[in-house]
């Protein structure tokens, strides 16, 4: 959809944060392009050109502003993409897929030919896969030159370039300056820690996000306080750990420790998904607020996000463990699973002693071993079926996955029904329209007994039903699957239909 220049200019005049990342403005007289929230003096309307994506501005000959730093702008949510294929391809490229693979590999993964993929992205995004990957590498490099203590050489390889010469050449062509001239002096921290700034569109209900994650923190793998989230993760060389804190007014501060620098871009992408940093809270609130019953919930918790997953398999296992039990019970079972099948991290950090077991490890487990942890035979069988499907690549929960297709694949596994598959889609697959209508608290809040009726009532809330669910859970204590009929209670939403 083409941009309306007059609407964009009004947003630019207002420095409207709702449009941060939704478009970029190129200033004809300076050759610079900016975010809509740039603090610089707003140019006249006739001097402005508007672009949907940063790469379009760069292809038109504009260079990134050093004040507002377009490379930090939040990305676009999945529902913003023109087509599912383009959306899946862009998410894979943003996650660094082309740093290790070719375009034809990506096309095969998405079930199309390389030629079809190139044409689709050129038509719908305005750039080829290679151009998108290059733009991502350069944006990350520019961010690290500003914010990190890494050397120029380290930044070149962290950003995905195969050689220092290619990095210098591409950077000079894009930004008109050598990388070393943009390098800000930073004092290298102790060990191998790297700090990175991650921007989002305010508001952000940080307290609710941490409370949700803290209640579900896996012992030994995650540690959550009222101000910080920490976790371990597997690297190519062993284990690393990260911490996330709020950095007002519109950023999180990510610190990555004990991990190879070349894996930083992957960690950043995972953290953005975990904390839902590309959400557009104003658009979501506007949609949910059209329903009188949801309006007070949205007003009470502005900026409520859908917590994602750093490790999709870990989240899927947790979803199975959460079937028909309390959050506390599921957390206890998850801790036992990690103790029995996980590996030690080797990190001397309190509360971060373990790594969650990989799918291939659980795929080799026996049902008896899992039942010994307190799982039912059915639940143990479901986890084994999931682990084997993931380990054999029968199911892929990665960022390029088609949520609707994956939901169908998950429901073919024994013991996985709509509640579990939709919960996984909501958090692991980052699908904003996922809706676990069978959830007990959702049905109670909507005043219905059947999941089909809950889905019917939530239909007008598309494509943001996952956020509607988060608001319902926030007011009811969290998700819970229950197969028994629930006594309905009248709700404003149900009563007014």
Concatenated DSSP letters of 97-163: HHHHS-HHHHHHHHTS-HHHHHHHHHHHTSS-HHHHHHHHHHHHHHHHHHH----HHHHHHHTT-S-
- How much is the pLDDT for 480? 54
In degrees rounded to 5, what are phi and psi of residue 255? Answer: -120, 125
CA-based end-to-end distance of the chain: 33
CB distance 212 to 301 below 8 Å: no
3-state helix, strand, coil in the chain (%, to 5): 50, 10, 40
> How would you label 13-25 residue by residue, b for 16+ Cβ within 10 Å and e otherwise?
eeeebbbbbbbbb
User: Strands across the sheet with 228-235, in order?
Assistant: 194-199, 251-257, 238-247, 228-235, 222-224
Residues facing 20 on adjacent strands = 23
More confident residue, 192 or 109: 109
| Catalytic residue selected from 99, 276, 433, 439 | 439
For 119-142, write each residue's pLDDT tens digit: 988 888 788 999 999 999 998 999
Residues facing 233 on adjacent strands = 240
Domains recognised in the chain with CATH numbers: 5-68 (3.40.10.10), 78-182 (1.10.10.60), 194-275 (3.30.310.20)
- How much is the pLDDT for 92? 86
Radius of gyration of the chain (CA): 23
- How much is the pLDDT for 174? 86
Instruction: State the Cα–Cα distance between residues 422 and 228, nearest whole angstrom.
Output: 28
Residues facing 354 on adjacent strands = 344
Instruction: State the Cα–Cα distance between residues 32 and 51, nearest whole angstrom.
Output: 12
For 443-488, write each residue's pLDDT tens digit: 998 889 999 999 998 998 988 999 999 999 987 655 655 443 333 4
Least confident of 33-47, 141-155, 358-372: 141-155
Q: Are strands 63-64 and 32-34 parallel, antiparallel or unpaired?
A: parallel
pTM of the prediction?
A: 0.82
CB distance 316 to 397 below 8 Å: yes
- How much is the pLDDT for 78? 57
Concatenated DSSP letters of 252-300: EEEEEESS-GGGHHHHHHHHHHHTTTT--HHHHHHHHTTSTTTHHHHHH
- How much is the pLDDT for 17? 79
- How much is the pLDDT for 96? 84
State yes or no: is 439 an active-site residue. yes
Name the region of 430 (left: φ>0; alpha: ψ -120 to 50; beta: rest): left
Element housing 393 (H / E) = none
Instruction: State the Cα–Cα distance between residues 134 and 161, nearest whole angstrom.
Output: 9
261-139-120-112 Cα dihedral, nearest 10 degrees: 0
For 260-286, write each residue's pLDDT tens digit: 888 888 899 999 999 999 998 998 998
Q: Is the pLDDT of residue 394 over 70?
A: yes
Range 428-431, long-range pairs (CB < 8 A, 24+ positions): 428/308, 428/309, 428/312, 428/315, 428/316, 428/319, 428/397, 429/312, 429/397, 429/401, 429/403, 430/78, 430/273, 430/276, 430/306, 430/308, 430/399, 431/78, 431/403, 431/466
Concatenated DSSP letters of 445-456: HHT-SSHHHHHH
For 136-187, write each residue's pLDDT tens digit: 999 899 989 988 878 899 999 989 898 999 999 999 988 888 998 887 665 5
Element housing 479 (H / E) = none
What is the rounded average pLDDT for all residues in the chain?
Answer: 88
Cα–Cα nearest to 252, from 232, 269, 274, 277: 277
> How would you label 418-440 residue by residue, b for 16+ Cβ within 10 Å and e otherwise?
bbbbbbbbbbbbbbbbbbbbbbb
Q: What is the mean pLDDT of residues 356-372?
A: 97
State yes or no: is 371 an active-site residue. no
Instruction: State the Cα–Cα distance between residues 455 and 295, nearest whole angstrom.
Output: 19
Q: What is the mean pLDDT of residues 8-27?
A: 88
- 393 Cβ partners below 8 Å, 6+ apart? none
| Catalytic residue selected from 34, 48, 68, 334 | 34
């Amino acid at each position: 959809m083409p941009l309306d220049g007059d609407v964009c200019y009004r947003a630019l005049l207002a420095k409207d944060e709702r449009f941060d990342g939704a478009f970029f403005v190129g200033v004809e007289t300076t050759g610079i392009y900016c975010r809509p929230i740039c603090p610089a003096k707003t140019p006249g309307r006739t001097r402005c050109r508007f672009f949907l994506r940063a790469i379009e501005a760069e292809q038109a000959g504009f260079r990134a502003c050093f004040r507002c730093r377009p490379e930090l702008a939040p990305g676009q949510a999945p529902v913003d993409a023109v087509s599912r294929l383009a959306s899946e391809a862009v998410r894979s490229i943003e996650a660094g897929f082309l740093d290790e693979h070719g375009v034809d590999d990506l096309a095969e993964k998405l079930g199309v030919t390389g030629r079809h993929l190139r044409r689709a992205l050129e038509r719908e995004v305005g750039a080829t896969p290679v151009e998108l990957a290059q733009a991502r590498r350069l944006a990350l490099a520019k961010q690290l030159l500003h914010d990190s203590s890494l050397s120029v050489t380290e930044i070149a390889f962290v950003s995905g370039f195969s050689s220092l010469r290619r990095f210098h050449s591409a950077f000079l062509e894009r930004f008109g300056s050598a990388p070393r001239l943009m390098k800000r002096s930073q004092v290298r921290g102790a060990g191998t820690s790297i700090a990175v700034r991650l921007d989002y569109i305010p508001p952000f209900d940080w307290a609710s996000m941490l409370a949700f994650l803290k209640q579900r923190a896996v012992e030994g793998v995650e540690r959550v306080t009222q101000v910080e989230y920490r976790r371990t993760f597997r690297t190519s060389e062993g284990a690393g750990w990260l911490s996330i804190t709020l950095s007002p007014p519109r950023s999180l501060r990510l610190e990555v420790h004990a991990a190879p620098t070349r894996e930083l871009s992957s960690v950043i992408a995972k953290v953005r998904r975990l904390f839902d940093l590309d959400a557009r809270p104003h658009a979501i609130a506007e949609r949910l607020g059209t329903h009188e019953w949801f309006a007070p919930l949205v007003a009470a918790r502005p900026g409520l996000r859908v917590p994602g997953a750093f490790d999709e398999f870990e989240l899927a296992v947790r979803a199975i463990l959460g079937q028909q039990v309390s959050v506390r019970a599921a957390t206890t079972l998850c801790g036992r699973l990690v103790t029995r099948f996980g590996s030690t991290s080797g990190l001397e950090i309190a509360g971060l002693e373990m790594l969650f077991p990989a799918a291939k490890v659980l795929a080799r487990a026996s049902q008896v071993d899992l039942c010994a942890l307190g799982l039912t035979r059915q639940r143990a069988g479901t986890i084994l079926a999931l682990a084997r499907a993931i380990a054999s690549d029968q199911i892929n929960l990665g960022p390029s996955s088609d949520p609707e297709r994956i939901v169908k694949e998950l429901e073919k596994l024994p013991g996985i029904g709509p509640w579990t598959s939709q919960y996984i889609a909501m958090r692991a697959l980052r699908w904003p329209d996922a809706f676990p209508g069978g959830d007990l608290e959702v049905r109670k809040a909507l005043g219905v007994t059947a999941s089909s009726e809950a889905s019917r009532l939530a239909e007008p809330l598309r494509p943001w039903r996952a956020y509607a669910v988060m608001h319902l859970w926030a007011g009811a204590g969290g998700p819970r699957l229950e197969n028994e009929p629930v006594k309905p209670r009248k709700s404003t939403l149900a009563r007014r239909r």
